[in-house]
Amino acid sequence: MPKNKIMIVEDEGLTAAYIQDILESVGYVVVAHEFSGEDAIESAMTTEPDLILMDIRLQGRMDGIEAAGEIQKRMSVPIVYLTAHSDKAILDRARITQPYGYVLKPFNSKELHSNIEMALYKHRTEKDLHVSAFYDTLTGLPNRSLFFDRFEQALKQAKRSQQSMALMMIDINAFASINETMGHEVGDQLLVDVASRLRDCIRESDTVARLGDDEFIIMLTGIKDPNDACDVATKIILSVGKPFYINSTNCSLGVSIGISIYPADGDSLKTLLKEADTAMYRAKECGKNRYRFFNETCEMINKDIGFLLDKLVSFVIARKGVWDQDGWVDLLIDIKRRGVPFSTDITRYVGALLESLKKLYVSALPVDANVDKIIPILSHEILDFILEHDGVWKQGDWEALLANVQTHGLEMSDDLYNVLRDSLESLNALYVLLCKKCSYNSRD
């Protein structure tokens, strides 16, 4: 167990040395000894002690009480005062800084040690209570109470700076069936993993919280355009939609997302929360892996993902799994002529799917397989699987797909398994990106 770090603030050299000897003899680490309040403030920020022993009377313009007040504005650290004076005026001033104890000089090692241990214990207890009061115990995300407090503060700032904000309600589709079929242990781990992926989808200035069960909420601050929320929602759908591998279990999740925008949709937490919740239920009514704005025109546009898949399969077969940069550029140009809207993400997933099809052609299938015939069949079975399940599947669905593949006389090798999994993930990402387009119309 790591030793507690103590900082001493004492302008009497002999007294400071005596205190340090006591602390080190009982197992503490003295990280700094400062003589003035000004130096104590700077040192506390760099050494990050677990506790500060602060003499009330110090040399210089700042006494220990003033220094303690400034330190507590910057960090949470317990402070125990050292003093030879116990007059009421001084104690009243010190009490304002909410110290964790007083040690009257002169003192012995037992008195000092017991006061430090009591202060450390009290601080740990308060910290644990704070965490349990404001953070979700399973995922470590802020809970409802902390999120609403942060949102209210951010809303005030947005009103002062005349910036926009977005509130996103997120629900995991059919999560109850996960607990029923796979058990609560797997369900809890999935929630932890989902929370981690959600954190990765937002900036440090934004906040994601767990409202309870399988519901999460996100606050996006300082957005330049409401369609910025579209980008985040799509990123979330793609991230959460990637397969989860827990205890040899392979499953994919879908989410329904409702979005409200400040100031276009309202100027209070109550209103924005209600509207985001309404939008989320609209998204759920439309199926899986959807997001909806409260005030929107959201149109499902079929970009003929079958055409895109056919082009990639034909490209691989025609070139027998070998091509150069010019061939890759020609393929992209040909696809763009069809009207497929390209972005960095779409190009990346087209490349990933192309690499998977290349591996399927070159090495994953048995040497005696008719690759020119079997690759289009397998590719469209994967696409049919995605369309049938709308990009969301469970372990049993995945196993059924693998079983269907084997009906073509193929042995499920590790290479074939991995290529099919990678192809499914890449094609599913393209399905989300190409077949779901949303635009936001603000109110008149």
pLDDT digits (tens, 9 = 90+) for 313-334: 999 999 999 999 999 999 988 8
* 282/186 same-domain check: yes
Domain range spanning residue 285? 144-299
182-187 contact pairs (CB < 8 A, 24+): 182/249, 182/251, 182/395, 186/246, 186/247, 186/249
Give the domain-ending residue among 267, 299, 331. 299
Extended strands (E) in 139-254: 164-172, 207-212, 215-223, 244-246, 249-251
When comparing pLDDT for 79 and 106, which is higher?
79
Residues 191 and 92 in one domain: no
Per-residue pLDDT reduced to its tens digit, 141-178: 999 999 999 999 999 999 999 999 999 999 998 888 88
Q: What own/partner pairs with CB < 8 Å and gap ≥ 24 does 142-149 have?
A: 142/207, 142/208, 142/209, 142/210, 143/209, 143/210, 144/209, 144/211, 144/212, 146/209, 147/207, 147/209, 147/211, 147/217, 147/219, 148/269
Give the Cα separation of 350 and 346 in Å (integer).
6
Across 183-323, the runs of DSSP E, i.e. the strands, are 207-212, 215-223, 244-246, 249-251, 255-262, 290-293, 297-299
- 294 and 151 in a common domain: yes
Kindly state the average pLDDT of the residues 98-125: 89
Query: Tens of pLDDT along 208-267?
Result: 999 988 999 999 999 988 889 999 999 999 999 998 888 777 888 899 999 999 998 889
* The amino acid at 270: K
pLDDT at residue 443, as a whole number: 37
Instruction: Give the pLDDT score at 435.
Output: 52
Assess if residue 139 is contained within a domain: no
Predicted confidence at residue 365, as pLDDT, reads: 87
Residues 320 and 354 in one domain: yes
Q: Stretch 72-94: mean pLDDT, rounded?
A: 83
Domain-embedded: residue 154: yes
Query: Do 294 and 168 share a structural domain?
Result: yes
- Give the CATH number, domain containing residue 103: 3.40.50.2300
Q: Answer whether residue 437 shows pLDDT above 50.
A: no
What is the rounded average pLDDT of the residues 175-188?
A: 86
Whether residue 250 lies inside any domain: the answer is yes
Sequence-separated (6 or more) residues with CB below 8 Å from residue 395: 182, 249, 250, 251
The per-residue pLDDT for 400 is 93
Does residue 116 fall inside a structural domain? Answer: yes
State mean pLDDT over 294-322.
75
The domain boundary, picked from 116, 134, 152, lies at 134
pLDDT band at 302 (very low <50, low <70, confident <90, very high): very low
- The model's pLDDT over 268-281, given as tens digits with 9 standing for 90+, comes to 998 999 889 888 88
pLDDT of residue 416: 92
Q: Please answer whether residues 224 and 422 qualify as being in contact, where contact means their C-beta atoms are separated by less than 8 angstroms.
A: no
pLDDT digit string, tens, across residues 353-403: 999 999 999 888 888 889 899 999 999 999 999 888 877 888 899 999 999
Which among 340, 430, 346, 345 has a CA at the least distance from the CA of 391?
Answer: 430
pLDDT in tens, 19-56: 999 999 999 999 999 999 999 999 999 999 999 999 99
Domain co-membership, 293 together with 373: no
* pLDDT value, residue 308: 87
Tokens at 441, concatenated: 């119309």
Domain boundary among the residues 134, 167, 188 is at 134
Q: Cα 367 vs. chain centroid, distance in angstroms? A: 44
- For the chain, the C-alpha Rg in angstroms (whole number) is 30
Q: Residue 86 above 70 pLDDT?
A: no
The continuous run of DSSP H or E covering 98 comes out as none
Number of structural domains the chain divides into = 3
**279 and 149 together in one domain:** yes
